[in-house]
Amino acid sequence: MVGADKGGVGKTTVSRALLDYFATNNILARAFDTEYPRGTLKRFHPQTTEVVDITQTPDQMRILDTLATSQVRVTVLDTRAGALMSSLEALRDVGFFDAMKAGEVNFVLFHILGPSLASLDEIAETAPFVTDANYFLVKNYINDSTFFDWDPATLQSYFGKVKSAGDVTISKLNAMAYEQVDLAGTPWSTFVANKTAGGEPAQHSFTLRGYVRTWQSKNAEEFNRIRLLDFVNGRI
């Protein structure tokens, strides 16, 4: 699950980075975009993404009832702005966390932090849901945020409230490169491979592709560092 209670902190960017990372590692993944009905993630990954309303029972069933049966081993949930807490509550109410405790599913939460201290309060609010989960705080620098000048002691006090908390850094991507991928409406890897969404050869700038490729490598290093593939393979 990728979430934040604030908008504009880059949830969909991180979800896209995750889907690309899984694809690169030959791991089948599907995604649910809870930004109902718009679904930004679906624009970039139309084949693998469904737009759902996580507060509605039929959609909850679509997501959760297929977790164990689907051939696809990874499900990425991109929660819409402001819906992280309600999504976690919905998951709790349908017994998802019990299933997790029983070892039926492995749950990882990527909590994208915003540029204000309110984000630290979010961490405290989220903590009760994820004490047994794999909880990562994501510092997303992609959109030029320079907000991580927090007092380390304060940050540590929040980190102390959650088990297994680690942090992931999404580094800055050149603004023009970001914008061009946005215009292309393709996964990052498709842009790097100089292809259109339809798989045809594209005319993307090599320089911009290079920036995206380097940025992807840094993301992959981060995901490798937190041993994300081990979560997928049930080794954690």
Partner 1 sequence: MKNPTLAFIICSLGGRAGKTMTARLLADYFLLSDRTFVGFDTDTHEPSFAMRFPQEVVASDVNTIQGQMALIDPLLVADGVPKIVDLWHRSLEGFFALLDQTEFIAEARKLDVEPIFLFVADGTARSVEAAARLVERYPDVQFVLVVNDGAVPGVERREEFNRYPSGRSFKIAALDPLLLQKIEEPGFSLSRFLLVPPTNMSLVVRAGIREWLWRIFSQFKSFELRITLADSEHLG
Please report, as ranges, the residues that interact with partner 1 according to CB under 8 A: 174-177, 205-211, 213-214
Give the nearest distance from C-beta 35 to partner 1 in angstroms: 29
Q: What DSSP string runs through 60-119?
A: HHHHHTTTTT-S--EEEEEPPTT-HHHHHHHHHHTTHHHHHHTTS---EEEEE--SSTHH
CB-wise, 80 or 204, nearer to partner 1?
A: 204
Residue closer to partner 1 by CB (options 55, 189) is 189
Residue closer to partner 1 by CB (options 215, 223) is 215
Least distance from C-beta 213 to partner 1, angstroms?
Answer: 7
Q: How far is the CB of 143 from partner 1 (least distance, A)?
A: 16
Q: Which is nearer to partner 1, 116 or 205 (CB)?
A: 205
* DSSP code per residue over 131-155: TTSEEEEEEE-TT--------HHHH
C-alpha to C-alpha distance for 136 and 18, rounded to whole angstroms: 13
Extract the tokens encoding 226. 């937190």
